[in-house]
Amino acid sequence: MTDPDLRPHLLLVTPVPLTLRERLSQNFVLHDDALLEPAQRVVLATKLRAMLCNAQSVVSRLQMQQWPALEMLSVIGVGMDGIDLEAAAAQGIAVRNTPEVSTEDIADHTLALLLTATRQIVQAHQFVQQGRWLQGRYPPGMRFSGRRMGIVGLGRIGSAVARRAQAFDMSIAYTGRTPKPDIKHRWYDSVQELAAAVDFLVVCASGGSQTQGLIDASVLQALGPQGVLVNIGRGSIVDEAALVQALQSRTIAYAALDVFVNEPEVSPALMELPNIVLTPHMASATLQGLQAMLEQAQMHLLEHFGMTDATG
């Protein structure tokens, strides 16, 4: 345990489980962001040295400037869209996230979404629940194995999705910032060209200005009436209005989304569609994955301050 008088002050921007809170308190003086009064913030301003955030946390340049002693942001999760990374770099603030531990969980969920959409699992479940099977058979779904998958963003998650898709005898193509010389999958220079060449278009790219609205009406038109879109990247990557129109007009067959532009608010137009699967940004949310993310986020804090885990 660190000497209580020497423990760095840590701001909890996100709630954490009691077990993690107890472990952190061995080495840090903890403060809950949601509970701090203005006067307390003034007193803490020159003392606060670290923040613990999650993937949905927003930490702006102005917020960083309000904490002049801040030197570390530890993020539970992959996404850092709400953190001004340029401001952090300019202020000398280290930012660490936990990308590796959730890769396999997110890839699993991606295939689950795609299977659910193509085989119409949700609709078929409702068909049975509502007693409609007594009136006749459910109409056939779409074949899954042996199809063509296009991946937008072949990073850690995209590569894990590709490995799983190959087990279903799918051919893989991809696009991204640059082609990867060590990858055998076919590269396409644009998302529109990729969409035109595949059956399933899976978005695994990062958010930000470079990818905002990347999946637009022209891409959906290229994907075609038998095409399926899956987005587990960021909601901002897909033009939601264009997607609604494409699904309503059957420009594409189905979509499956785990992320949304204004989450947790979801467009009513999306929720009313019969040919869509929606999940609440839960691709990384497994008990095992969350525990691993919490442990890694704690370890990043301990490493930054040259500490060891007193709890073992």
Residue pLDDT, tens place only, 1-45: 555 678 999 999 999 999 999 999 999 999 999 999 999 999 999
In this prediction, residues 294-308 reach a mean pLDDT of 93
Cβ–Cβ under 8 Å, residues 135 and 112:
no
pLDDT band at 309, cuts 50/70/90?
low
- What counts of helices (H) and strands (E) characterise the chain? 12, 12
Q: Is the pLDDT of residue 293 over 80?
A: yes
Pick 312 or 170 by higher pLDDT: 170
pLDDT at residue number 206 = 87
In this prediction, residues 177-183 reach a mean pLDDT of 90
| Distance in angstroms (rounded) separating the CA atoms of residues 243 and 233 | 15
| Distance in angstroms (rounded) separating the CA atoms of residues 68 and 55 | 23
pLDDT at residue number 4 = 62
- SS3 state at 11: strand
Looking at the chain, how many residues does it have? 312
Residue 31, token pair as written in the block: 């403060």
| Distance in angstroms (rounded) separating the CA atoms of residues 96 and 288 | 20
Q: Helical H runs in 81-185?
A: 85-91, 103-118, 121-129, 156-167
Catalytic-labelled residue, pool 23, 234, 240, 300:
234
Residue 152, token pair as written in the block: 């937008």
Cβ–Cβ under 8 Å, residues 157 and 268:
no
Q: Is the pLDDT of residue 310 over 60?
A: no
DSSP conformation class of 135: G
- The widest CA-to-CA distance across the chain, in whole angstroms, is 73
Q: Is the pLDDT of residue 201 over 70?
A: yes
Proportion of the chain in helix, strand, coil states, percent, rounded to 5: 40, 15, 45
pLDDT at residue number 3 = 55
pLDDT at residue number 312 = 43
User: In sequence order, what are the beta bridge partners of 172?
Assistant: 149
Catalytic-labelled residue, pool 96, 156, 186, 263:
263
Catalytic-labelled residue, pool 147, 185, 281, 300:
281
pTM: 0.86
Is 234 a residue of the active site? yes
Q: Is the pLDDT of residue 311 over 70?
A: no
Q: Is the pLDDT of residue 140 over 60?
A: yes
Q: Is the pLDDT of residue 81 over 90?
A: no
In this prediction, residues 80-92 reach a mean pLDDT of 92
**H/E segment holding residue 156:** helix 156-167
Output the CA torsion sign for 10, 60, 93, 106. positive
| Distance in angstroms (rounded) separating the CA atoms of residues 306 and 212 | 39
Cβ–Cβ under 8 Å, residues 21 and 39:
no
Q: Is the pLDDT of residue 179 over 60?
A: yes
Residue 63, token pair as written in the block: 């917020």
Is 263 a residue of the active site? yes
Q: Is the pLDDT of residue 183 over 80?
A: yes
Residue 199, token pair as written in the block: 């059956």
